[in-house]
Structure 1
Amino acid sequence: MKSTLYQGKKMLAQLLSGCIVGFSLSCQNEDPPPPFSLEERYFSDSTGLYLPGDLEATLWAESPQFFNPTNMDVDSKGRIWVTEALNYRLFRNDPEKFNHHEKGDRVVILEDTDGDGKADRSKVFVQDEDLTAPLGISVIGDQVIVSSGPSIIIYTDENGDDIPDKKEVFLTGFGGLDHDHGLHAVVAGPDGKYYFNAGNAGPHIVTDKSGWTLRSGSLYNGGSPHMKDNRPGMVSDDGKVWVGGIALRINPDGTGMKVLGHNFRNSYELALDSYGNMWQNDNDDDGNKGVRVSWLMEGGNMGYFNPDGSRRWQADRRPGQSTVKAHWHQDDPGVIPMGDSTGAGSPTGVAFYESDLLGKKYRGTLLAGEAGRNVILAYQPEPMGAGFRLKRHNLISSLSDEEVEAAQSRTTGEDKTKWFRPSDVVVGTDGAIYVADWYDGMVGGHRMIDSTGYGRIYRITPKGKPLPKPKIDLSTTEGQIAALLNPAVNVRNAGFALLAGKGPAAVEAVKKILTDENPYHRARAIWLLATMGPEGITAVERQLKADNSHLRITAFRALRQAKSDFLPHARQLSSDPSAAVRREVALALRDLPQNQVEDIVITLASQYEGGDRYYVEALGLAMEGKEETIFPVLQQKLGGDPLSWKPGYADLIWRLHPSQAIESLKERALSLELSAAERQQSVAALGFIPDQRAVDAMQEIAASEVLGINERALWWLRYRRNNEWNAFSMQIPEMQATISPEIQKEMLAWKATLESSSAPKSEKVKAAKAMAADRIGGIMLLALAEKKVLSEEIMAEISSAIFQNPEQATRVLAEDYFTRLNKPASLSVPDIVALEGDPAKGKLVYQGKCATCHRIGNEGRNIGPDLSMIGAKLDQQGLLDAIIHPSAGVAFGYEMWMVTLKDETVAAGFLQADGPIVVLEGMQNEAYNIPSEAIAFRKRFGRSIMPEPAELNMDEADVAHLTAYLEGLNSEGS
């Protein structure tokens, strides 16, 4: 057997190193070798995965049955459908070196026909030039729904022969063409509607089939067909401003699109449980250790940008605020709690496990893929007030717990934690968990290292217990109910749709499910009964009194969708003992007139005692647009003397921050009878009121002698001057008046000489060289080069001097315009890999070459991404690629911008805010606050300001040592 296995290994390795016939791949004999040993990585006798002792993992499928799996789904036959991303970012990943499909990416069907626990059949369902690195797939009935920015495409297989008979662009206009932060998978909800999300690579300007238009913009562009139209603060047809990454619901016919949450960075996928709860993960700005797994509250703002998308989190960071809290604006009213902060990583697919087939203890488990940390995270969400507590543990990982601990202190040796890159996780019709593994040392990030496009799918089952694939007969009521109760989420929709179509005739059969021991099954019946006529509605109304609060919530959600007049049910539940039930009532009141809901709102608010951020945010959404008119009622019934406000009421006023509360908030801020935390809360609430009276109150507080509070008020004044309070009058002690960079008069004089048509060449050369030697003058030269006002002769004269400019960014960006003579040769990757790196020496390299821009622990500067946990994300090959080719994938927020003002001055830096005041952070951490109307021209550079190693006088040994040091960084500064 060993000999046969070896021969199989050898044959497949040969296939992968050359041309693979029949798979439309572009191959070259000189492709670089894979960054791992094929025999060791992919052909060991075991999977090499660690998981609980009552479970086991087996290899279910692997390349060349498919390549680079991004997403999976399961059909009613138990087959796995996979989207491939072999053509991922080919404009950046050289197609001459990477295998790719000339005719577009593919959707592949995998099947285990003989029931031995391995896929033995692979077929291509569709290959389409409109599919470029698609990130989502759903098989719902006879429709295959593929998410590939800018469009959601539906392929319909009308006769079941696994060949599309019809192709329809279901929705289009999303940002994220060939981009990680684009469209993600559609999932059928328990209500029969479709749910999906998209990352923040906007703008998203999308019209549904009823004519309703979504407009979501922010600072970030990412391959959108509407990039020229991108701007923060765009208003959708519902009159609301939606920002960044976004979650949506739509009817299967393409009408009724509704926003369910927004302001993510890049949630890779949305999962729904049968109660209707939405679960997702989200990636942080690389290096900030703020990756999260969250419950998404309907309508919630998840806090990546400021509310209109015009500012990054760095521009809003408060004194003493932790990076993670600042990153997600967690201290701002109107932002939903982030959930579980998982640190550094690259989150991927999510699924919710509701079956008992793995064992009852796994029922109710949220599964979250984490490619950066090489693990499938698991949670069993616990109710916590109006929200959930998420306690994390590793369900599936590439190392044992002991080895993980050892790896975190590892300084030498091969890092096997990078050998498991889960891109998606789904639940099969058999109750098994299927995990897609797309190995690549870059974990996305717009780059690839593995030129072969390799991938695997693992199957997770109870140890020693077979899980047979069920046969689902959709032609009978019994078979339709079996489908409804199936573990696979989109298979359930087939049963739902067919039973809903029978209406009252199937009510009795569905009502029997209400006695099922599994509450998730009962929840599915509740959603279905709400669509089946008066008898079904009556059965659902009875569930409003169910002992299980989750089922009461489900019943209310279902009735809210089924009945136009659901307010009697809202009143019935407004005094429910469960804060979560009352939260759901509050969310349902958003957008309804105050005269219809005022009594319910007061009832809900009167039960809030404080300390539950989910509850107060739900109340805030219930009162959105009514803050000023409802405040007098709240004050009369719940308020009273400002110094005697109860904690719950103080929280509520902080959340609503109506202008009528300004005097009360000022009184609380200045009162020594209150705690420091209560005074700080009042100051913060004032800071969110766009009113001259709030500015005046803040100035009074800043001028007071209440220590701590006066300093914080001064900070708010200085901060708000550059955004929401810019149009108001204020006088701030010791406020710097300048809003543009200090420009030396001689630089402007030299600039005038260069632009003069009469100045002699010798004077122009003198002027150019003087500017090239100056930090500010160098940026001005780049602006002149961009405007093409410099002659070829002057450009040639500058070329020798501009690359000696004292500003590193200027030296690097100058290559966009000037020819660099005697540029150092690039380092040899094979030579670096052949060297044994010394982490101790690598730390010295970091301190001497990298700490001027990058922080590790408490050392270094915050100009480039934080590297404290880079070793938990990138392996040696990924680190080498990032070091040697820094411009191959510039992280969002680290693009350099150059702004020319109408007074001819120039500023350069990282864009932090883009509104009435444009905020740039310069290379010396200086802030440039520039009125937008003062800007004549702006440019975003595509090149990273990080120099290549040779330009920093680093040789192969330096990079080998540095890489060894960075590989060992798995925790804060370790």
Structure 2
Amino acid sequence: MNRHVERILCALAVSLASAAPAAQFKFATQTLTVPDGFEVEIAAGNDLAPRPIYGSFDEQGRLYVADSSGASGKAEEQKADPRHRILRLEDTDGDGKFDKTTVFADKMMFPEGCLWYDGSVYVAAPPSIWKLTDTNHDGIADAREVWHDGKTLTGCANDLHGPYLGPDGWIYWCKGAFAEQSYEVNGKPFKSRAAHIFRARPDHSRLEPVITGGMDNPVGLAWTPEGELILCGTFFAPGEPGHRDGLIHAIYGGVYGKPNEVLEGHKRTGDLMPVMTHMGPAAPAAVRRYESRAFGEEYRDNLFCCQFNLHKVSRHVLVPDGATFKTKDSDFLVSDNPDFHPTDVIEDADGSLLVLDTGAWYKICCPTSQLSKPDVLGAIYRVRRKGAPKVDDPRGLKLAWGKMKPDELAKLLGDERPAVAERTVQQLAKKGKAAVPPLADVLKKSTSPKTRRNAVWALTSIDHPKARESVRLALADKEQSVQHATLHSVGLWRDRGRFVAFRVLDCLVHNEKPQLQRAAAEALGRVGGQYSVAPLLEWMPGFVDESSNLSIGTSVSNTATATDNALRVMEHSLTFATIEIGDPAAMKLWTSVSRGTAPRIVRAVLIALDQMEKGGLEPEVVAPLLASTDTKLRRTAAWVAGHHPDWGGVLAGFFRERIAANNLNDSDRSELEKQLAQFVSNEAIQQVLVEALKNSSSPLVMRQMLLRVLAQPGLKEAPKGWPDAVRAALDAKDDALVRTAIPTAHALALVKTNAPTFAERLQKIARDTSRPDDLRLDALAALPRGLREVEPDLMSFLVANVAPAKSVAMRGAAAGALAKAKLSDEQLLTLADTLKAIGPMEVSRLLPAFDHKTNEAVGLRLVAALKESKGLAGVRPDALRSVATNYPPVVQQKADELLAALNVDAAKQKAHLDELQASWPAGDIRRGQLVFNSTKAACASCHKLGYLGGNVGPDLTAIGPARTERDLLESIVYPSASFVRSYEPFTIITKNDDEYSGVLRKDAPDEVVLATGPNTEVRVARSDITEMRPSRVSVMPAGLDQQITKQELADLVTFLKNTKWGAN
């Protein structure tokens, strides 16, 4: 079957298989699409909540909503003039539609969260989290106090998000931005610029970080029934298509992406922790776990996530994956309106979902929003399942809450109404010590796992020794979900009661559920002692056999198919536990592989000793492991050694011996090259490299490898001895060694401080006719400033090598050398004549040789030669126009004539543009935004605005200040008239006479990659290319002005003219 047809059929099959029945609901400004069987209605229009951001229900069913004023200025401006509000919405007649609104709190700084808890509303409004209380019950917060002072306010105001109430009764929040905040954690000062999830008791005591990250914006939190924490946020993993934002399983002690210098100094267990669910540039604003049965059992404990940039709410089914989760992802609610921006999703007591659409006001540090439109308001929508059974008294308002004693409340812990069960846990927590006995009875006698689990959460919320004692009972619970919650509880409180650690150890080694084992490891780190270290380490190889990547422990059935993410999560919790226990003496017994210790255990020990306080890890232990036969152990040893510059002396000895070894194979040398490159900034290692290069008895392959190490980027100054070593290599008779030394010389000549010069030796190589021609050309190409003087023989050599008969690489190198060389007028006349017989790629590359010249004869010869040139098709009119600028008028006139011949339609194009502008209707920015994002214009398929869009064409996020309206009009109507640098089109012809055109994405020695259209590219092996030339036809098709109306064209230009990067 034809491969193209086969791909189409496969794509069609996938499309048909993934398509699900859907229902659509039309509103004034948009159509909302949900799965079939659901319905959507407006629960609160913009007359009640104009720009809702976040919300939270109180026990009576009143919804507190953080509502924006529409102000989208920088953070300091908003702090100086706070105009946002907290509203209280009420549904007085119980029809599911709010009909009354009260301003609960006005003059608020930008609100980034909303939590009702114990009679107060908590709101993150950077730099603080506020506690707002209505003490006289008039619906207005008359008491305002700072519950948490973050002390920082950055320009984007993403310093704080939240807060959120965990099932454990602690309050959690997120720190974003990268401003330094200072706290006291466990009695010690804690300073950090990194992103974090923090938690504290409701009285703000026991504050501590949960995770650390290099991401810009950790935002929303949700918990599984067992207490596993899920975070949504941005910039976890930028750089790869489909990545950037998403969901992570937030494991205690984990350090998450992206790579960032703010992570320096934070305890690590190896690589950055994995992302659970990738979303691309979605800007997720909130994530919630669905608890009710109203949507059907298949929806229970699913996650719903608001994707601000993508105008939808997504559904994520959690699937156990070893010690963590995977997700099955689908769209749940999707809008066709680019101004629909969901910011929160809330489960109501009856099982319906509220979706808060904040409207189009927001553009603070969010270029993807494109425009700030404070007049485009939002609303609150309600999603129901058709035919869902009605729940009687879903909030338990008929219950006499104020009169119930603890034993009566305990009977409601298993209530099927989520709001009732949640309120019961909180009410029992408020009872304190008096609630402990009935909760202990529940743990002993209840047959309902849910009831017992909620009893654990109630006890966890109580700060009393009796509560700690009672919750320990559940460590032996037969239901793993109850055990799981209990492990979280004892770890959270660092419960070091009698035999607690031994019971936790039992959970680690005597069950088959990896998530429970991981939770036990986490708890051991907070409650265990020296006796816990050995079991933690011994369990390490119980999950991964290094040779097979399969489980070899007691839990084969659950982990044999676990992903790399799952293994990384388990490894982290086991390792981090040993770091927290902090007993170096117990760890050092496990550092020797030669004693039979499994490599995975040695890896964990190395990391733990390196990261724990006073670990005392010695370089003599680590250095031999750099040569381990186990790849992961070898790389871990390199990672550990990499942040110990004081180990240079010991490592130098190791590398000296390693370089001198005569039994290294290609793989060994490759690994050694990577290790040396990692330590290349270490002074002791630098001298080892010099010594080895000077050793003439070193094998050629080793000296070549050392030269490649010397070429590593990032050094500000060439280390002592390096330039002389490279010069010696350039003087060598061996062409292979010289060929490797040339790029090293080029790299060292580009350092910022005291750059050495290799020009004399490179020119000597270039003039040496006994050397291969391609080597001579490489030497010339490595001269950073080109040749200052070109003698006749060398000029003839260069000119000969731009001839079509030469290879593409040699033609390119020769053309590049000539373009950079300082040529005399006579030589330029010769070079101009050469243009007649060479190809378009070389003609284009040689034009810069004639730039900034003034000689009339040279200019006239250039234009005349181009007129006859076979490569004229590769000359871009704008490039020739630029070169001709400095020549006398007669040359410019001839150039204009040639340009007219090159572009016979130029006059027609200019007349057409003049006509368009003369009859130009007034453009509208907002209509232009719609045109840009429309399928008819399809601009977003190739161009990026903010973080959304394609990458075939230039990023247009900040195009407005850089271009006139005439420029923008020309680029739309005649996209081939001029090209943005780095987006010039090229044409490739292969040996099979296949022809490809597109934007050059990669121009490497082994292959060329062209972007040929939206989401399409072609890869061609360099050896298959017979011709490569600049194209004069843009990838962007001409004629867009024929596809859209003149008004739409005016709107589009107006929109583009007003695009700019910034907070507003």
Q: Given that residues 353 and 382 in structure 2 are in contact (C-alpha distance below 8 angstroms), is that contact kept between their aligned partners in structure 1?
A: yes
Matched, 1:455 2:378: yes
Letter in 2 for 1:460: V
Find 2:31's aligned residue among 40, 45, 48: 48
Taking the TM superposition and a 5 Å limit, the aligned residue runs for 1:262-661 are: 262-263=212-213, 264-284=215-235, 289-306=243-260, 308-309=262-263, 333=270, 335-398=272-335, 416=336, 418-440=338-360, 445-446=365-366, 449-452=372-375, 454-465=377-388, 466=390, 469-472=394-397, 473=399, 474-477=401-404, 482=412, 492=422, 495-501=425-431, 503-504=433-434, 507-508=437-438, 511-512=441-442, 519-529=449-459, 531=462, 540-561=471-492, 563-565=495-497, 566-577=500-511, 578-590=513-525, 595=530, 597-605=532-540, 607-610=542-545, 612-624=567-579, 626=582, 629-635=585-591, 639-640=593-594, 646=598, 648-649=600-601, 651-652=603-604, 655-656=607-608
Structure 2 CA distance for partners of 1:164 and 1:702, relative to 1, 3 Å: farther
Letter in 2 for 1:459: R
Find 2:139's aligned residue among 141, 162, 174: 162
Q: Given that residues 52 and 378 in structure 2 are in contact (C-alpha distance below 8 angstroms), is that contact kept between their aligned partners in structure 1?
A: yes
How far apart in 2 are the matches of 1:433 and 1:496? 23
Find 1:186's aligned residue among 142, 163, 167: 163
How far apart in 2 are the matches of 1:480 and 1:156? 28
Taking the TM superposition and a 5 Å limit, the aligned residue runs for 1:711-750 are: 711-721=670-680, 731-732=688-689, 733-734=706-707, 735=710, 738-739=716-717, 741=752
Letter in 2 for 1:564: R
How far apart in 1 are the matches of 2:655 and 2:419? 52
Indicate the SS of the match to 2:114: strand
Letter in 1 for 2:373: D
| Aligned equivalent of 2:102 | 123
Indicate the SS of the match to 2:219: coil
| Aligned equivalent of 1:220 | none
The structure whose RCO (Cα within 8 Å, separation 6+) is larger is 1
How far apart in 2 are the matches of 1:670 and 1:243? 36
| Aligned equivalent of 1:75 | 58
The offset of 1:503, in angstroms, is: 3.6
TM-score with structure 1 length normalisation? 0.61
Q: Given that residues 425 and 435 in structure 1 are in contact (C-alpha distance below 8 angstroms), is that contact kept between their aligned partners in structure 2?
A: yes
How far apart in 2 are the matches of 1:837 and 1:533? 61
Tell me which protein shows more helix as a share of its residues. 2
Indicate the SS of the match to 1:614: helix
How far apart in 2 are the matches of 1:959 and 1:744? 52
The offset of 1:560, in angstroms, is: 3.8
Structure 2 CA distance for partners of 1:244 and 1:484, relative to 1, 3 Å: farther
Q: Given that residues 55 and 460 in structure 1 are in contact (C-alpha distance below 8 angstroms), is that contact kept between their aligned partners in structure 2?
A: yes
Structure 2 CA distance for partners of 1:669 and 1:961, relative to 1, 3 Å: farther
Deviates more, 1:172-181 or 1:551-560: 172-181
| Aligned equivalent of 2:209 | 259
Structure 2 CA distance for partners of 1:169 and 1:959, relative to 1, 3 Å: same
Q: Given that residues 287 and 868 in structure 1 are in contact (C-alpha distance below 8 angstroms), is that contact kept between their aligned partners in structure 2?
A: no
How far apart in 2 are the matches of 1:572 and 1:305? 37
What is the Cα-based RMSD across aligned positions, in Å? 5.0
How far apart in 2 are the matches of 1:569 and 1:390? 32
Indicate the SS of the match to 2:33: coil
Find 1:111's aligned residue among 87, 90, 96: 90
Matched, 1:202 2:202: no
Structure 2 CA distance for partners of 1:168 and 1:106, relative to 1, 3 Å: same
Q: Deviations over 1:224-279 (max 9, x none)?
A: xxxxxxxxxxxx96466645211111111121111111114311122233422111
Letter in 1 for 2:402: S
Structure 2 CA distance for partners of 1:363 and 1:488, relative to 1, 3 Å: same
How far apart in 1 are the matches of 2:931 and 2:483? 62
How far apart in 1 are the matches of 2:534 and 2:339? 58
Q: Given that residues 281 and 947 in structure 2 are in contact (C-alpha distance below 8 angstroms), is that contact kept between their aligned partners in structure 1?
A: no
Indicate the SS of the match to 2:525: coil
Q: Deviations over 1:468-489 (max 9, x none)?
A: 6534343143568658858667
Letter in 2 for 1:368: C
Letter in 2 for 1:525: A
The offset of 1:296, in angstroms, is: 0.7
Q: Given that residues 514 and 525 in structure 1 are in contact (C-alpha distance below 8 angstroms), is that contact kept between their aligned partners in structure 2?
A: no
How far apart in 1 are the matches of 2:587 and 2:431? 47
Q: Given that residues 422 and 435 in structure 1 are in contact (C-alpha distance below 8 angstroms), is that contact kept between their aligned partners in structure 2?
A: yes
How far apart in 1 are the matches of 2:331 and 2:152? 33
Q: Deviations over 1:37-91 (max 9, x none)?
A: xxxx997279732223343222211213123222111111112211123254324
How far apart in 2 are the matches of 1:590 and 1:720? 33
How far apart in 2 are the matches of 1:662 and 1:646? 20
How far apart in 2 are the matches of 1:274 and 1:243? 32
The offset of 1:502, in angstroms, is: 5.5
Q: Given that residues 188 and 493 in structure 1 are in contact (C-alpha distance below 8 angstroms), is that contact kept between their aligned partners in structure 2?
A: no
Indicate the SS of the match to 2:604: helix
Matched, 1:830 2:760: no
Structure 1 unmatched ranges of 5 or more: 1-40, 214-235, 313-328, 399-415, 746-803, 805-826, 855-863, 888-923, 926-953, 968-974
Q: Given that residues 424 and 436 in structure 1 are in contact (C-alpha distance below 8 angstroms), is that contact kept between their aligned partners in structure 2?
A: yes
Indicate the SS of the match to 1:615: helix
How far apart in 2 are the matches of 1:73 and 1:45? 27
How far apart in 2 are the matches of 1:179 and 1:457? 25
Letter in 2 for 1:437: D
Structure 2 CA distance for partners of 1:134 and 1:666, relative to 1, 3 Å: same
The offset of 1:701, in angstroms, is: 5.1
Letter in 2 for 1:343: G
Find 1:710's aligned residue among 669, 686, 689: 669
How far apart in 2 are the matches of 1:527 and 1:163? 32
Structure 2 CA distance for partners of 1:112 and 1:870, relative to 1, 3 Å: farther
Structure 2 CA distance for partners of 1:669 and 1:743, relative to 1, 3 Å: closer
Indicate the SS of the match to 1:632: helix
Letter in 2 for 1:73: S
* Structure with the greater alpha carbon radius of gyration: 2
- Equivalent residue pairs, number: 690
Find 1:247's aligned residue among 193, 197, 206: 197
Q: Given that residues 60 and 457 in structure 1 are in contact (C-alpha distance below 8 angstroms), is that contact kept between their aligned partners in structure 2?
A: yes
| Aligned equivalent of 1:777 | none
Structure 2 CA distance for partners of 1:275 and 1:830, relative to 1, 3 Å: same
How far apart in 1 are the matches of 2:605 and 2:504? 23
TM-score with structure 2 length normalisation? 0.56
